[in-house]
């Protein structure tokens, strides 16, 4: 009998109000049902938001160091359960188990540890006052109720990037995991409860974004929404939340480029481009889906890249030696196939791949590693996010041309350059239009201690990860204390009248 899993509201596991459910399946073996989950409706959203609202004052009043200690226990439990969680990530999302454990889960552990330490550093400011016997300071306070909507590709790390700092800052949370990875979301929420997060502080709803997303964003109890996903959905969220004057944090699409110059360490660049393009089957916002290669090494590099792409072992991510798993669902497989047709129709040269392996691999949503050459910047495959194992190679005639090609999209999330010339590297660091720059390293991933976010259409300016999370999940309160005991003019700044201030 298939396990049935519930929503988590107010510290209790509860069914959806209308009793509807949906199934989560293994993308490598679609006949395998992972579990049955609640197909939440608007009534469930209201109930979860109300629980978070009721818990907000008590959690905000909990000392920040105590909140940090709970996140320390979260790190310990994640460490203890890492292998089980990693295997579930692979079963439910498809990526190879080494990625599930070595990056996704481990990075979430690291995030919890960083937030534990920051529990004693929720810093404000003291400011010199314009007046005698007056004290001025700035303190940080939680926003209130935070909504977190996350995608399927990093089903532990991306919730950790949102939930852990939001909790550290004293907010309560309503969390909606991707409909493709509800089991991983359930495991994470159970872990938070086991670590001692009080009832109502974290609440979880499973279901479909198109059914509950609008109510989720506009619910009167919600103060802030943090979303990672497509540009199209991000724009809708921004519009709905903006009309309600709610704070919004968006991490959206990408079309990342890796620049490979003629003086690059050839093998290092090749390995980095392979991982950037085909890690997680290309289903990463940091995927290097465009490679801009200097003409002096272009043909040699393309030949080596094509040979290595053909050799990638594809299969069930739980099997030893598998390097690339399936796409997450049929819709994504169809999307990738559609872009193969688009690329060929635009005149790009298909060097390897380009086909679904679904029929040959037991019905799983597998697609081979695909390389296009002779790609120009005006082609759709060079401009639109495919979110699959497809890489477009573009030829550059000079360093300046390479930078222009890299910048020739509306996105700017995670770019890279391979070069041994320090002058070129520093010029690229300045000129590449991207929130993250990788030098002689893959575009995939980011250090936990530094901010992560994009420019242009890749986000709205707020960053996740690292200590800047405090800016995302708090608001500032300025406090002035007059300790002179003197009566001052009402409604007039005394210093200003004396020419000392504004």
- Statement to judge: residues 189 and 278 lie in one domain: no
Q: State residue 29 phi and psi, 5-degree precision.
A: -140, 80
Residue-by-residue DSSP string for 70-119: HHHHHHHHHHHTHHHHHHHHHHHH---HHHIIIIIIHHHHHHHHHHHHHT
- Statement to judge: residues 128 and 176 lie in one domain: yes
- Statement to judge: residues 247 and 323 lie in one domain: no
- Statement to judge: residues 296 and 428 lie in one domain: yes
- Statement to judge: residues 233 and 366 lie in one domain: no
State residue 445's pLDDT score: 75
The helix (H) or strand (E) run that includes residue 37 is strand 29-38
Query: Which one has a higher pLDDT value, 216 or 495?
Result: 216
Domain, as residue range, for 184: 44-252+459-477
Residue pair 168/59 in contact by the 8 Å Cβ criterion: no
User: With 50 as the cut, is the pLDDT of residue 499 above it?
Assistant: no
Task: Say if 446 falls within a structural domain.
Answer: no
The closest of 466, 440, 441, 439 to 453, measured between CA atoms, is 466
State residue 501's pLDDT score: 46
Q: Taking the CB of residue 276, how many other CB atoms lie within 10 A of it?
A: 28
State residue 498's pLDDT score: 47
Task: Say if 332 falls within a structural domain.
Answer: yes
Task: Say if 501 falls within a structural domain.
Answer: no
Helix 64-80 and helix 182-194, axial crossing angle in degrees, nearest 10: 120
pLDDT > 90 fraction of the chain, expressed in percent and rounded: 91
State residue 496's pLDDT score: 47
- Statement to judge: residues 219 and 300 lie in one domain: no
Determine which of 31-40, 43-52, 205-214, 486-495 has the lowest per-residue pLDDT on average: 486-495
Task: Say if 111 falls within a structural domain.
Answer: yes
Mean pLDDT of 265-270: 98
- Statement to judge: residues 310 and 338 lie in one domain: yes
pLDDT, tens digit (0-9, with 9 covering 90-100), for 353-393: 999 999 889 999 999 999 999 999 999 999 999 999 999 99
- Among 439, 469, 493, identify where a domain stops: 439
Q: Cα–Cα distance between 317 and 93 in angstroms, integer? A: 10
State residue 489's pLDDT score: 62
Q: State residue 340 phi and psi, 5-degree precision.
A: -60, -45
Q: Taking the CB of residue 294, how many other CB atoms lie within 10 A of it?
A: 22
Task: Say if 169 falls within a structural domain.
Answer: yes
Task: Say if 470 falls within a structural domain.
Answer: yes
Burial of 61 (0-12, 13-18, 19+ CB in 10 A): exposed
Task: Say if 491 falls within a structural domain.
Answer: no
- Statement to judge: residues 192 and 332 lie in one domain: no
Q: Taking the CB of residue 363, how many other CB atoms lie within 10 A of it?
A: 14
pLDDT band at 1 (very low <50, low <70, confident <90, very high): low
Mean pLDDT of 484-498: 61
With b for 16 or more beta-carbon neighbours within 10 A and e for fewer, the 119-133 pattern comes to beebeeeeeebbbee
The residues carrying an active-site annotation are: 251, 285
- Which residues have CB under 8 Å from 303's CB, separation 6+? none
Domain with residue 351: its CATH number is 3.40.309.10
pLDDT, tens digit (0-9, with 9 covering 90-100), for 205-235: 999 999 999 999 999 999 999 999 999 999 9
Quote the tokens at residue 439.
Answer: 């030098």
The closest of 275, 298, 302, 310 to 444, measured between CA atoms, is 275
- Statement to judge: residues 147 and 78 lie in one domain: yes
State residue 76's pLDDT score: 98
User: With 70 as the cut, is the pLDDT of residue 203 above it?
Assistant: yes
| Number of domains comprising the chain | 2
Domain with residue 203: its CATH number is 3.40.605.10
- Statement to judge: residues 160 and 295 lie in one domain: no
- Statement to judge: residues 225 and 295 lie in one domain: no
Q: Taking the CB of residue 254, how many other CB atoms lie within 10 A of it?
A: 30
- Statement to judge: residues 181 and 52 lie in one domain: yes
Mean pLDDT of 397-420: 98
Task: Say if 29 falls within a structural domain.
Answer: no
State residue 284's pLDDT score: 95
Most confident region among 189-193, 446-450, 489-493 by mean pLDDT: 189-193
Query: What is the gyration radius of the CA atoms in the chain, in angstroms?
Result: 25
Task: Label each residue of 162-207 as H, E or C.
Answer: HHHHHHHCCCEEEEECCCCCHHHHHHHHHHHHHCCCCCCCEEECCC
Q: Taking the CB of residue 266, how many other CB atoms lie within 10 A of it?
A: 15
Residue pair 147/159 in contact by the 8 Å Cβ criterion: no
In the Cβ-directed half-sphere of 163, how many Cα atoms lie within 13 Å?
30
Q: State residue 328 phi and psi, 5-degree precision.
A: -75, -25
- Which residues have CB under 8 Å from 313's CB, separation 6+? 321, 322, 323, 324
Mean pLDDT of 76-88: 98
pLDDT > 70 fraction of the chain, expressed in percent and rounded: 97
Any alpha helices (H) in 311-379, and if so which ranges? 330-346
pLDDT, tens digit (0-9, with 9 covering 90-100), for 430-459: 999 999 999 999 998 788 889 999 999 999
Mean of the per-residue pLDDT values of the chain: 95
User: With 50 as the cut, is the pLDDT of residue 163 above it?
Assistant: yes
pLDDT, tens digit (0-9, with 9 covering 90-100), for 277-304: 999 999 999 999 999 999 999 999 999 9
In order of 1, 233, 259, the CA distances from 308 in angstroms are 43, 35, 19
State residue 10's pLDDT score: 98
């Amino acid at each position: 009998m298939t396990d049935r899993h519930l929503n988590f509201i107010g510290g209790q596991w509860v069914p959806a109000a209308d009793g509807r459910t949906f199934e989560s399946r293994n993308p490598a073996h679609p006949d395998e049902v992972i579990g049955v989950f609640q197909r939440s409706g608007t009534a469930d959203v209201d109930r979860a938001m109300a629980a978070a609202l009721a818990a907000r004052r008590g959690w905000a009043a909990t000392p920040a160091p105590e909140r940090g200690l709970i996140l320390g226990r979260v790190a310990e439990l994640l460490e203890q359960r890492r292998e089980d969680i990693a295997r579930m990530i692979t079963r439910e999302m498809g990526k190879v188990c080494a990625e599930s454990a070595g990056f996704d889960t481990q990075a979430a552990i690291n995030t919890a540890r960083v937030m534990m330490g920051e529990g004693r550093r929720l810093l404000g400011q003291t400011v010199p006052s314009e007046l005698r016997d007056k004290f001025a300071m700035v303190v940080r306070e939680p926003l209130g109720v935070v909504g977190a909507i996350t995608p399927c590709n990093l089903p532990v790390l991306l919730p950790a990037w949102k939930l852990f700092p939001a909790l550290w800052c004293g907010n309560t949370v309503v969390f909606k995991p991707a409909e493709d990875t509800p089991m991983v979301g359930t495991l994470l929420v159970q872990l938070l409860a086991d670590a001692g997060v009080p009832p109502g502080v974290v609440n979880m709803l499973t279901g479909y974004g198109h059914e509950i997303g609008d109510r989720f964003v506009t619910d009167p109890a919600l103060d802030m929404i943090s979303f990672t996903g497509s540009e199209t959905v991000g724009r809708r969220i921004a519009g709905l939340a903006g009309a309600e004057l709610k704070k919004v944090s968006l991490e959206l699409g990408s079309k990342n480029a890796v620049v490979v110059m003629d003086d690059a360490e050839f093998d290092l660049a090749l390995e980095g481009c392979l991982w950037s393009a085909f890690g997680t089957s290309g289903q990463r916002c940091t995927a290097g889906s465009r490679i801009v290669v200097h003409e002096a090494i272009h043909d040699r590099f393309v030949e080596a890249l094509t040979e290595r792409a053909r050799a990638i072992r594809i299969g069930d991510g739980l099997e030893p030696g598998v390097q690339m798993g399936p796409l997450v669902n049929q819709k994504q497989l169809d999307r990738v196939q559609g872009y193969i047709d688009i690329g060929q129709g635009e005149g790009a040269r298909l060097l390897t791949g380009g086909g679904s392996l679904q029929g040959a691999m037991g019905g799983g949503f597998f697609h081979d590693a695909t390389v296009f050459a002779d790609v120009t910047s005006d082609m759709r495959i060079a401009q639109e996010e495919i979110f699959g194992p497809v890489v477009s190679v573009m030829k550059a005639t000079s360093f300046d041309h390479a930078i222009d090609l890299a910048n020739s999209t509306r996105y700017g999330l995670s770019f890279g350059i391979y070069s041994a010339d320090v002058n070129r590297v520093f010029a690229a660091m300045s000129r590449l239009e991207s929130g993250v720059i990788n030098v002689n390293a893959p575009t995939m991933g980011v250090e936990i201690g530094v901010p992560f976010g994009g420019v242009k259409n890749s986000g709205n300016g707020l960053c996740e990860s690292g200590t800047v999370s405090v800016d995302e999940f708090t608001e500032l309160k300025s406090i002035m204390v007059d300790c002179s005991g003197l009566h001052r003019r009402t409604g007039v700044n005394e210093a200003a009248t004396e020419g000392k201030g504004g």
